[in-house]
């Protein structure tokens, strides 16, 4: 019997590797399965690169299975070498604990922690922290061959530049996690990104050696790539975080709304819970009316609503529409800061008041002659309002929070001018 969940995951392109596809399908058809995915607390917020494995885990919950969300308070003290070319900088214990709290709070937005399929949140520091060095070497290290570890991509890729014994042992720690969750929570499946394949299979192998035949499965999802070859998860401002204080809902909305036509359908399958019929309808809209950008709007709306809620989504849409129409007066100073975070910024003297001198000093126009031409031709807007008077004086009324002025030159070129 074909499993509906696995069919959906295949259609979405979310299945990269499986340790035992037939065995996984059989248990998903016959029982409620407990499965897990882990996140190491490398920062006090997750970024959108963390989303795909967690959303995949949530899909299992939507189909009646029980997710365990593991935050690596223990493994985070060590550092995963997977996907890294250089050694990680070790974090302090206090920093790791701070990060654990921040990431734990974000999991409430992604998983349902109530009901019969309630998710569970665990911290591997609780059991890894209890293992002494002697116990680690005798009870676990004895079962893991160095040759076996050297064959894993996460280690192989680091041999040329070097890898510390600390990071070399990370694979064993994650293997211990899978074994612990299997024995204590009857957890039978681990989900991870494609770079976690070696860690996942090591966990299954360690269980087999320690406990004999064990029912355990691994499934990995593909690395998220963009059609243009650029790295996914980065904007002009840098990393796209899930923390609203690091990346505002407006910025998150803009990140998704700017998805290319070449990527948008794939990302709708990856990052939203829209069904096949709706995504196929949006794909048709993209082909027949690409100028409407209906697929991009659906992607941005669904992700921002899921992470930040309906109110934050509506604020993001309102800011976007006001900026698109040039209605800056509709926005608060904080919303303007969000909206113009990435535009060119300049500083001028507080004493510079004439509009011609002002836009020359700010580098908006290249010379006084060009500045007079720009103003006279109606190409200059101060806080959204066109100014064509060559004698116009910049006053305190033009200084938002007495700190900055938004200047537009032409149709789309914006500048944030601050005062010295």
Sign of the C-alpha dihedral computed for residues 305, 308, 312 and 317 taken in this order:
negative
Q: Detail the residues annotated as belonging to a binding site for ATP.
A: 234
Query: Cα separations (Å) of 133 from 59, 180, 209, 349?
Result: 38, 17, 20, 63
Residue keyed to tokens 């997710």: 67
Rg (CA), the chain: 26
CA 232 centroid distance within chain: 9
Contacts of 47 (CB under 8 A, 6+ apart): 233, 239, 240, 241, 242
Q: Detail the residues annotated as belonging to a binding site for L-tyrosine.
A: 36, 170, 174
Q: Detail the residues annotated as belonging to a binding site.
A: 36, 170, 174, 234
How far apart are the C-alpha atoms of 273 and 59, rounded to whole Å? 8
Longest CA pairwise span in the chain (Å):
86
Give φ, ψ of 378 to 5 degrees.
80, 25
How far apart are the C-alpha atoms of 166 and 3, rounded to whole Å? 41
């Amino acid at each position: 019997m074909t499993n509906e969940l696995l069919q959906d995951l295949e259609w979405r392109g979310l299945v990269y590797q499986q340790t035992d596809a037939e065995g996984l399908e059989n248990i998903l058809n016959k029982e409620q399965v407990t499965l897990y995915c882990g996140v190491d607390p490398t920062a006090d917020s997750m970024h959108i690169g963390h989303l795909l494995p967690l959303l995949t885990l949530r899909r299992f919950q939507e189909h009646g299975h029980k997710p365990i969300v593991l935050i690596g308070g223990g493994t985070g003290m060590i550092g995963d070498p997977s996907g890294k070319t250089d050694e990680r900088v070790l974090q302090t214990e206090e920093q790791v604990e701070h990060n654990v709290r921040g990431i734990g709070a974000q999991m409430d937005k992604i998983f349902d922690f109530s009901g019969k399929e309630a998710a569970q949140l665990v911290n591997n520091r609780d059991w890894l922290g209890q293992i002494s060095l002697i116990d680690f070497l005798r009870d676990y290290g004895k079962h893991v061959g160095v040759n076996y570890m050297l064959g894993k991509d996460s280690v192989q890729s680091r041999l040329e530049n070097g890898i510390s014994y600390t990071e070399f042992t990370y694979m064993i720690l994650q293997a211990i996690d899978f074994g612990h969750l299997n024995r204590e929570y009857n957890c039978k499946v681990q989900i991870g990104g494609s770079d976690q394949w070696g860690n996942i299979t090591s966990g299954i192998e360690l269980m087999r050696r320690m406990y004999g035949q064990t029912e355990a499965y691994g499934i990995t999802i593909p690395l998220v790539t963009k059609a243009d070859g650029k790295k996914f998860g980065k904007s002009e401002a840098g990393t796209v975080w899930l923390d609203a204080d690091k990346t505002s809902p407006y910025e998150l909305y803009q990140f998704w709304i700017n998805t290319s036509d070449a990527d948008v359908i794939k990302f709708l399958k990856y990052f939203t819970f829209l069904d096949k019929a709706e995504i196929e309808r949006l794909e048709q809209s993209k082909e027949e009316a690409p100028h409407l950008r209906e697929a991009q709007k659906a992607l941005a709306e669904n992700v921002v609503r899921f992470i930040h809620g309906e109110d934050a989504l509506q604020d993001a849409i309102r800011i976007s529409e006001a900026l698109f129409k040039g209605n800056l007066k509709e926005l608060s100073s904080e919303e303007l800061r969000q909206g113009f975070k990435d535009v060119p910024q300049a500083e001028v003297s507080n004493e510079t008041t004439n509009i011609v001198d002002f836009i020359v000093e700010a580098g908006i126009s290249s010379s006084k002659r060009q500045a007079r031409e720009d103003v006279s031709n109606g190409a200059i807007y101060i806080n959204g309002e066109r100014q064509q008077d060559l004698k116009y004086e910049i006053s305190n009324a033009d200084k938002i929070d007495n700190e900055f002025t938004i200047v537009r030159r032409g149709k789309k070129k914006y500048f944030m001018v601050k005062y010295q």
